[in-house]
Amino acid sequence: MEASEKPQLPLDAGNSGDGIVRALGDRLVIERLEVEDERAAHLVRERGEAGHPPAQTVRDAIEIGARVLEREGAAAEVDYVRAEFERHAGTLRERLGRTLESGEQQLAERIAQSFDTSREGSVQKEIERLLSGALEEQRTALLRLFSAEEGVNPLHDFKGAMIRAFKALDARQQAEGQENRGRIDELTRQLVELREREEANRRVAEAEEAGTRKGRTFEERVHLALERIAEARGDSAHHVGDERGEGGSKKGDTVVEVGAADGQALGRIVFEDKDDQLSRNQAWAELNAAMAERDADFAVLVVAGEQNIPAKREQLVEYEGNKLIVAVDPELPDELGLDLAYRYARLRVLMTRDRALEVDACGVRDAAEAARSALRRAQGVRLALTNVDKSSAKAREGIDAIVADVEAELTRIEGLIDL
């Protein structure tokens, strides 16, 4: 009953030698059908070896082939429809072309009439008239709006706010100005007090320096004495004992730049201070190293007392044309001997700088020797004063006379050099 209701293929369709194929509804029944196709047979065997049932492979091949055949028929029909459409479309385009050509001419004439700028009623003229009117109305409305003094003016609140802000700013500036003037007066008062305090501190420091002079090191005392001597002659003295020179060492304790207080330095003198005794070779090594490190023209070895003069060397005697030794009181180095050594070294630097100076060499040597002799006498008298209590007044008168002789010899040396 079920088979009779579905569309069927006749049982005698095809030759009996080709097998029996029946189409029952959506099913296809094939009996004793032999297909001679090498590729199909190879495909069934290959998929069977891979585990696919042969019947399933044949079923898939029939389904795929049926779809391909169906698409080929549909493609043929589409080609036919396309050909017919192209034929009719060509005719239509030809008719439309003729119609559009005639319509284009009419449209062009209408557009030319509507957009002709020479015609009063053209589109351009109408647009221009409308824009001019609209702009004029807007301009008039804006002028009327911003000229109003009432609240309708959008700038009314802004103008009021700006006026209030400027008034507040002016009041604040005046208040700040008064406050700043008060601060300036207070700072001025504090500055005056600070200057007075600094002046008082300076005076106290000077007093303390005078009272604690013996508390300084020998090097510091010698430098202070050299600083005073240099300042009196327009020179500049620099304490360099803690600074490394160009060579990296700290050789040399005080460097004097001759004439540097009034302009460019005319030469340099280095002073090396020692409160212990050096050998002759050590002394010369120290002075040579100090001159090299500080780029000096003359070197002076300042020792604390005559007992520290290097062996086989004398003070206030020039050695090698650029070295001198002077012994000073360890506690009061700023006495006659240091001043004499300073002035002599200064003159030698100036003589070396300018060979064209007219110098009485013999007179310089004689004056220097006389000054050195006077200095020795003064030192001898001073030594005597430490051991003799009686007749001290007479001895002091004698040392004052000797000091005057030394000063006179030093003045004579400086007068022999035409500076």
Q: Specify which residues 257 forms β-bridges with.
A: 236, 268
Q: Which pLDDT band, with edges at 50, 70 and 90, does 168 fall under? A: confident
Confidence of residue 1 (pLDDT cuts 50, 70, 90): very low
CATH of the domain at 267: 3.40.1350.10
Helix axes 38-49, 54-114, angle to 10 degrees: 110
Query: How far, in Å, CA of 57 to CA of 408, rounded?
Result: 141
Determine, yes or no, domain membership for 336.
Answer: yes
pLDDT band at 213 (very low <50, low <70, confident <90, very high): very low
DSSP-assigned letter for residue 393: H
- 188 is a domain residue: no
- Do residues 326 and 225 touch, judged by C-beta distance below 8 A? no
Nearest Cα to 4, choosing from 34, 32, 27, 24? 24
Residue range 388-412: mean pLDDT, rounded: 63
Q: Report the distance separating Cα 217 and Cα 274, nearest Å.
A: 11
Q: Is residue 74 part of a domain?
A: no
Give the helix, strand, coil percentages of the chain, each rounded to 5: 65, 10, 25
pTM over 0.75: no
pLDDT per residue as tens digits for the range 231-248:
988 999 999 988 888 888
* pLDDT confidence tier of residue 87, bands split at 50, 70 and 90: confident
Per DSSP, what are the bridge partners of residue 27?
24
Residue 243 burial (CB count, 10 A): 11
Segment 94-117 shows an average pLDDT of 69
Report the chain's mean pLDDT, rounded to a whole number. Answer: 77
> Does residue 298 sit within a domain?
yes
pLDDT at 225 over 80: yes
Whether the per-residue pLDDT at 214 is higher than 50: the answer is: no
The residue whose two tokens read 């399933």 is 56
Q: In what order do the strands lie in the sheet with 236-239?
A: 236-239, 254-258, 267-274, 298-304, 323-328
Confidence of residue 212 (pLDDT cuts 50, 70, 90): very low
Q: Determine the average pLDDT of the residues in 387-413.
A: 63
Considering the domain boundaries, does residue 248 fall inside one?
yes
Digit-coded pLDDT (tens) for 353-386 = 655 455 555 666 666 666 667 666 666 665 555 5
pLDDT at 66 over 50: yes
Rounded to 10 deg, the angle between the 336-353 and 361-387 helix axes is: 170
Q: How many residues are recorded in the chain?
A: 419
Compute the C-alpha angle 335/338/343, nearest 5°: 120
Continuous H helices in 149-277: 156-211, 218-232
- Lowest mean pLDDT across 60-69, 103-112, 290-299, 395-404: 395-404
pLDDT tens for residues 315-341? 888 898 899 999 998 887 766 788 888
Report the C-alpha gap between 349 and 347 in whole angstroms: 5
275 domain-assigned: yes
Give me the number of domains the chain comprises. 1
What residues contact residue 288 under an 8 Å CB cut-off, 6+ apart?
299
| pLDDT, greater one: 305 or 204 | 305
Q: pLDDT tier at 296 (50, 70, 90 boundaries)?
A: very high
Structure tokens at 333: 């180095």
The confidence band for 402, taking pLDDT boundaries of 50, 70 and 90, is low
Q: How far is CA 273 from CA 102, 131, 316, in A?
A: 124, 102, 15
Four-point Cα dihedral 95, 98, 101, 104, nearest 10: -50
Q: Is residue 274 part of a domain?
A: yes
Rounded to an integer, the average pLDDT of 104-114 is 69
Q: Is 167 within the bounds of a domain?
A: no
Domain containing 224: what range? Answer: 217-356
Selected residue with higher pLDDT from 314 and 69 = 314
